């Protein structure tokens, strides 16, 4: 039994935004009110802090099974909880790839009873993530996978994607797609533009993402599949998305939290440090600002962690040889809060309400709902600290001035301190 | 004053570039003596760490170090453990354990020298990284231009060819712009992209578009290994629009300098008569290369705080 | 700290003439020796000595310069890096009689460096040393063959030779004293 006292309760779904006490009992929210009696509950003084519905992450690579030196279910679950997430979707990009009903069943069963956030599985869209053959989507969803997608890999072949979306639609699961164009992305290692020209690094044209988004929009229109675009990071991409939504297309999208605060000059500032190598790459300032605006306007409804842990083995290499990606579970809230200028209802919507809706769920602070809560300190300011719970430390935000931090996460009524 | 390393010309100031060129001019004299060696860097160890084949740059650095009495040690990727999967950082840690004073590195990845410079205390000299920079080549090019033209401010240098993938071109652009020269580029659309204008240069197309105004024309080598497939048409078409031959040279300013970083693809970017002609300063470039590299080693290594006991001033 | 003039312009001029006389007296005709000055002060003095010889003998000896920067033994001591000067010996050294010229003889390290460099240019028959000022405090077994003036100095003192060729508005030698000339090998000989 838990009594969260005097926190600012921010629940965009119900419109509540005021200081209240919240009682948690048997994994559920039991009572919300003013001056609730403590009884024998454990009291957490939340005065000065805020209580948000706990976050839901649609995009995270937890590396388990296969490359557990980078991350494992336990460390990934703890890292997610340290970042305010109660639910994290694990990418199918594991070894073996989650691309059959049997593999999915085994992994769903193995993902219970974790010490932090609950981990749920995404089943692959194409066998081996190779973009050539359809997976057993139906069996994977039946086994407990909550979405279908190829993780960070992009399906560039239009005919293949058309088939995959057509096949996925009747099963009902949402399809997570990273928009991109493989051949163009293979050509470079950072955003092609002023900074890449200055640094002499081969560039990936923004066209790669734009083509990917345009293709997905056309195919969603054709197949009526339920699609969520992960990683929308360009101004033109956000504009394409806005136009598609205006035209009545049902399509949701997310952006990695770090892309809201970092731009491609991080590559030059770091002196070619591979920690800044990402896919999609960091974008110029004008794209960053456009994407922030798109999150504010709701065109991009969700923010994800895009957690991609790599250790020294994969990162202590020449920039163009290092694996792209960065961790992000433990910093997603601070980055989002900073980028959205401290607007807590908007942060709650982007990190909790909208991603939950993508999965057909709610994220609310309402009596009777599962007690998934994030306790945050909106007054905190300081340089971003290195990750603590993740097994990897490839975090380009370290040292960056950020606002706000997560103090604790409640997962099904269980309180997990973050600091 | 130069810092610990020479990674490129992008971040160097006019004073530093001028200091290097002035010093190099002095070092040319050493190579003309009967005993072409001075004891300046006696007891210092210079390692050349080349992950790409290059005979001339490596020889030039090697000779420069030897003429300054440094001990030199060569490390080739083809004969070393990198073939067995050792990472650059692990290779560097091994070399570090042998206590070098400077490492001269050539590497196919842009930014590789920067990575070593950040991680280790010794001097790092970039001898070419990916498509990024080749500062010593640009410095010797600028020294050669200065020999013939004097002050480079207000001069126009045309760079023709695959500028996008050329570290020589990029270092020259950074350096020449700092010295006040104007740079104009010509080349195929895949190699001379408009975004290069962000480096403060003008981008044109055919060689005929730039030849008339140029005091210097620098012809780049076509490096098919750096081009992605489909980025170039035939050599014949290349030569027709971007190659330099005698007929074209006649339309240029009298006294125009023809430069090439070598090795030349004769008949593609440069016709043999032009390469060996009176306007060509290609061999001077090679001579100046040794002097520039001696100057770099002297300026970067010559003044380090070092061993206890060497505390006497000369009077 | 105190500073005073150790040699006036007239002293300096007279000393140069006397050194020139001594050199010709001992070494013979201007064709029999060459003067090589150490950059920068010594190089200017070598020219003045050559001029003085020319005035008295009617014939000017050949003059070269040595910049010893690349031969110094203190490049690694964290001092500011000296600018490179020009070493120019536009004649054959083998078999010649060389008079090395410097302005101030102090520790002897400059002369050591100059000798090393000289040998890299060729193999002279004989090398002698002429200096305007010998201020003592030798750290190497080196002595001058022709000395303009011996000055007692403290080890930390600075001896400054001003020459018009260097852009100075006058000729002369000044001592800036930082300690008394009390060490045993200092002082007037």
**CB A397 within 8 Å of CB A384:** yes
> Chain B interface, mutation test: which of C40, C71, C75, C112, most B Cβ atoms within 10 Å?
C75
Q: Using beta carbons and an 8 Å cutoff, which residues of A are at the interface with B?
A: 187, 192-194, 197-202, 271-273, 316-321
Give me the catalytic one of A57, A306, A372, A377: A306
User: Would you say residue A43 lies in a domain?
Assistant: no
- The answer to whether residue A10 is domain-embedded is no
pLDDT digits (tens, 9 = 90+) for A190-222: 999 999 999 999 999 999 999 999 999 999 999
Q: Is A40 a catalytic residue?
A: no
- Residue A84 inside a domain? The answer is yes
CA separation, residue A287 to residues A43, A193, A240, A350, A397 (Å): 44, 12, 13, 19, 18
Give me the residue spans of the domains in chain C: 8-75+86-151
Query: How far apart (Å, rounded) are the C-alpha atoms in residues B295 and B267?
Result: 34
For residue A346, the model assigns a pLDDT of 98
Cβ-based contacts of C81 with chain B (< 8 Å): 1, 299, 302-303
Mutate which: B19, B299, B315, vs C, most C CBs within 10 A: B315
Any CB–CB contact under 8 A between B40 and chain C? Answer: yes
DSSP run (H or E) holding A227:
strand A227-229
Kindly give the parts of chain A with pLDDT less than 50: none
As to burial, measured by CB atoms within 10 angstroms (0-12 exposed, 13-18 middle, 19+ buried), residue A402 is: buried
Residue-number span of the structural domain to which A263 is assigned: 54-363+381-401
Q: Which residues of C touch B45 (CB under 8 A)?
A: none
Q: Helix A158-168 to helix A207-223 angle, to the nearest 10 degrees? A: 40
How buried is B219 (Cβ within 10 angstroms: 0-12 exposed, 13-18 middle, 19+ buried)? buried
Q: Are B257 and B217 in contact (CB under 8 A)?
A: yes
Residues from C contacting B (CB-CB < 8 Å) are 68-81, 84-88, 104, 106-107, 109-110, 113, 116-117, 120-122, 139
What pLDDT is stored for residue B83 in this prediction? Answer: 60
Structure confidence at residue C75 (pLDDT): 66
Helix (H) or strand (E) holding A103: helix A101-110
- What is the distance, to the nearest Å, from the Cα of residue B181 to the centroid of all Cα atoms in its chain? 18
Nearest Cβ partner for A194 among B129, B170, B198:
B198
Q: Which residue has the tokens 């290594």?
A: B301
User: Are the C-beta atoms of residues A250 and A293 closer than 8 Å to each other?
Assistant: no
Residue among B111, B131, B167 minimizing CB distance to A319: B111
Interface test with A, best of B10, B112, B130, B173 (most A CBs within 10 A): B130
CA atoms of C64 and C98, how far apart (whole Å):
10
The helix-helix angle for A207-223 and A235-246 (nearest 10°) equals 20
Peptide bond into A211 cis (omega under 30): no
Nearest to A344 by CA among A293, A378, A384: A378
pLDDT of B54 reads: 84
CA-derived radius of gyration, chain C? 16
The string of DSSP codes covering B54-108 is -SHHHHHHHHHHHHTT-EEEEEEGGGSGGGGT--HHHHHHHHHTT--SEEEEEES
Using CB atoms, list chains with 3+ pairs below 8 Å to chain C. B
Asked whether the beta carbons of residue B111 and residue A194 sit closer than 8 angstroms, the reply is no
ipTM (interface predicted TM): 0.88
Assign domain C8-75+86-151 to its CATH architecture: 3-Layer(aba) Sandwich (3.40)
Q: Is residue A102 part of a domain?
A: yes
The reply to whether residue A271 touches residue B118, judged by beta carbons under 8 angstroms, is: yes
Interatomic CA distance for residues B165 and B223, integer angstroms: 8
State phi, psi for B120 to the nearest 5 degrees: -130, 155
Chain B residues lying within 8 Å of C107, measured CB to CB: 312-315
User: Rounded to the nearest 5°, which phi and psi values hold at A201?
Assistant: -105, 140
- Give the pTM: 0.88
C-alpha closest to that of A230 among A280, A157, A168, A276 = A280
Q: pLDDT value at position A47?
A: 97
Torsion of CA C40, C46, C48, C51, to 10 degrees: -150
Which residue spans within chain B are E strands per DSSP? 45-50, 71-76, 102-107, 123-129, 156-160, 182-186, 202-203, 216-219, 257-259
| H or E segment to which residue A379 belongs | strand A373-383
Does A contact C via 3+ CB–CB distances below 8 Å?
Answer: no
Where are the alpha helices (H) located in A265-330, listed in sequence order?
Answer: 265-269, 285-297, 312-315
For residue B311, the model assigns a pLDDT of 34
Q: How confident is the model at residue C80 (pLDDT cuts 50, 70, 90)?
A: low
Domain total in chain A: 1
Q: What is the pLDDT of residue C188?
A: 42
Q: Cβ B315–C106 below 8 Å, yes or no?
A: yes
* Per-residue pLDDT of chain B in tens (315 residues, 90 and over written 9): 788 999 999 999 999 999 999 999 989 988 888 888 899 999 999 999 999 888 889 999 999 999 999 999 998 776 555 566 789 999 999 999 999 999 999 999 999 999 999 999 999 999 999 999 999 999 999 999 999 999 999 999 999 999 999 999 999 999 999 999 999 999 999 999 898 999 999 999 999 999 999 999 999 988 777 777 778 888 889 989 999 999 999 989 999 999 999 888 888 889 999 999 999 999 999 999 999 999 999 999 976 433 333 333 333
Q: Is the four-CA dihedral C43, C49, C54, C55 of positive or negative sign? A: positive
Cβ within 8 Å of A, B 247-306: none
Cβ pair C73:B26 closer than 8 A: no
Shortest CA distance from B116: residue in chain A: A318
Q: For the segment C112-168, what is each residue's pLDDT rounded down to a tens digit? A: 999 999 999 999 999 999 999 999 999 999 999 999 999 999 899 999 999 999 889
- Check B40 against C110: CB less than 8 A apart: no
Which residue in A187, A193, A319 is closest to B109 by CB distance? A319
């Amino acid at each position: 039994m838990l009594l969260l006292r005097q926190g600012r309760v921010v629940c965009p779904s119900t419109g509540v935004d005021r200081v209240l006490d919240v009682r948690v009992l048997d994994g559920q929210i039991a009572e919300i009110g003013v001056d609730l009696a403590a009884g024998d509950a454990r009291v957490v003084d939340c005065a000065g802090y805020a209580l948000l519905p706990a976050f839901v992450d649609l995009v995270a690579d937890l590396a388990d099974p296969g490359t557990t030196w980078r991350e494992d279910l336990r460390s990934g679950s703890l890292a997610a909880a340290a970042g305010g997430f109660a639910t994290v979707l694990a990418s199918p990009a594991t070894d073996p790839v989650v691309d059959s009903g049997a593999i999915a069943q085994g992994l769903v069963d193995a993902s219970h009873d974790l010490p932090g956030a609950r981990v749920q599985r995404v089943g692959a869209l194409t066998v081996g993530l190779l973009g050539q053959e359809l997976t057993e989507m139906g069996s994977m969803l039946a086994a407990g996978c909550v979405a279908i997608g190829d993780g960070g890999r992009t399906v560039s072949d239009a005919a293949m994607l058309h088939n995959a979306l057509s096949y996925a639609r009747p099963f009902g699961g949402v399809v997570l797609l990273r928009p991109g164009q493989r051949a163009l992305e293979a050509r470079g290692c950072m955003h092609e533009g002023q900074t890449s020209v200055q640094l002499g690094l081969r560039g990936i044209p923004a066209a790669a993402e734009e083509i990917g988004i345009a293709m997905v929009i056309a195919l969603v229109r054709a197949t009526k599949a339920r699609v969520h675009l992960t990683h929308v990071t360009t101004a033109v991409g956000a504009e394409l998305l806005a136009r598609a939504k205006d035209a009545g297309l049902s399509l949701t999208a997310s952006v990695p939290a770090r892309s809201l605060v970092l731009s491609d000059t991080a590559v030059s500032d770091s002196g070619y440090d591979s920690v800044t190598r990402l896919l999609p790459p960091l974008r110029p300032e004008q794209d960053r600002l456009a994407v922030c605006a798109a999150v504010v306007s709701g065109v991009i409804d969700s923010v994800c962690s895009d957690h991609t842990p790599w250790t020294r083995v994969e990162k202590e290499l020449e920039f163009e040889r290092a694996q792209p990606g960065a961790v992000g579970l433990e910093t997603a809230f601070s980055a989002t809060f900073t980028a959205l200028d401290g607007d807590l209802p908007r942060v709650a919507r982007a990190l909790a309400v909208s991603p939950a809706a993508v999965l057909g769920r709610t994220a609310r602070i309402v009596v009777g709902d599962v007690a998934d809560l994030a306790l945050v300190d909106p007054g905190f300011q300081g340089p971003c600290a290195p990750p603590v719970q993740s097994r990897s430390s490839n975090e380009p935000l370290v040292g960056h001035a950020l606002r706000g931090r997560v103090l604790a996460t409640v997962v099904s009524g269980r309180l997990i301190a973050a600091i | 004053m130069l810092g610990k390393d020479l990674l490129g010309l992008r971040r160097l100031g006019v004073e530093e570039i001028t200091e290097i060129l002035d010093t190099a001019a002095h070092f040319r004299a050493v190579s003309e003596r009967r005993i072409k060696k001075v004891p300046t860097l006696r007891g210092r160890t210079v390692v050349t760490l080349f992950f790409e084949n290059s005979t001339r740059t490596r020889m030039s650095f090697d000779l420069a170090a030897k003429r300054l009495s440094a001990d030199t040690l060569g490390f080739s990727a083809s004969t070393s453990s990198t073939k067995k999967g050792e990472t650059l950082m692990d290779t560097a840690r091994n070399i570090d354990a042998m206590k070098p004073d400077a490492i001269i590195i050539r590497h196919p990845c842009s930014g590789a020298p920067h990575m070593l410079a950040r991680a280790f205390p010794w001097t790092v000299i970039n001898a070419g990284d990916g498509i990024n920079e080749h500062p010593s080549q640009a410095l010797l090019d600028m020294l050669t231009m200065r020999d013939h033209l004097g002050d480079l401010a207000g001069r126009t240098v045309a760079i023709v060819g695959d500028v996008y993938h050329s570290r020589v071109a990029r270092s020259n652009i950074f350096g020449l712009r700092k010295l006040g020269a104007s740079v104009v580029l010509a080349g195929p659309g895949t190699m001379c992209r408009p975004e290069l204008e962000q480096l403060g240069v003008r981008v044109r197309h055919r060689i005929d578009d730039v030849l008339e105004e140029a005091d210097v024309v620098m012809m780049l080598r076509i490096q098919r290994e750096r081009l992605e497939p489909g980025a170039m048409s035939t050599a014949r078409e290349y030569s027709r629009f971007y190659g330099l031959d005698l007929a074209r040279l006649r339309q240029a300013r009298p006294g125009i300098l023809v430069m090439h970083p070598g090795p030349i693809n004769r008949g593609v970017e440069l016709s043999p008569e032009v390469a060996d002609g009176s306007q060509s300063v290609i061999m001077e470039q090679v001579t100046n290369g040794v002097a520039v590299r001696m100057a770099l080693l002297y300026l970067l290594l010559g003044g380090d705080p070092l061993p206890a006991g060497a505390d006497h001033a000369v009077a | 700290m105190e500073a005073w003039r150790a040699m006036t312009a007239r002293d300096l001029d007279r000393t140069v003439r006397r050194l020139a006389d001594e050199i010709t007296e001992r070494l013979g005709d201007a064709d029999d020796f060459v003067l090589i000055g150490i950059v920068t002060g010594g190089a200017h003095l070598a020219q003045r000595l050559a001029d003085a010889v020319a005035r008295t003998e009617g014939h000017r000896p050949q003059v070269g310069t040595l910049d010893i920067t690349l031969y110094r033994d203190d490049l690694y001591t964290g001092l500011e890096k000296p600018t490179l000067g020009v070493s120019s010996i536009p004649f054959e050294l083998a078999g010649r009689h060389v008079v090395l010229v410097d302005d101030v003889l102090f520790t002897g390290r400059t002369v050591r460096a100059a000798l090393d460099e000289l040998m890299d240019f060729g193999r002279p028959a004989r090398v002698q040393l002429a200096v305007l000022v010998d201020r003592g405090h030798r750290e190497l077994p080196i002595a001058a063959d022709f000395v303009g003036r011996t000055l007692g100095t403290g080890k930390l003192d600075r001896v400054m030779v001003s020459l018009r060729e260097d852009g100075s508005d006058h000729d002369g030698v000044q001592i800036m004293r930082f300690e008394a000339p009390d060490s045993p090998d200092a002082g007037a000989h």
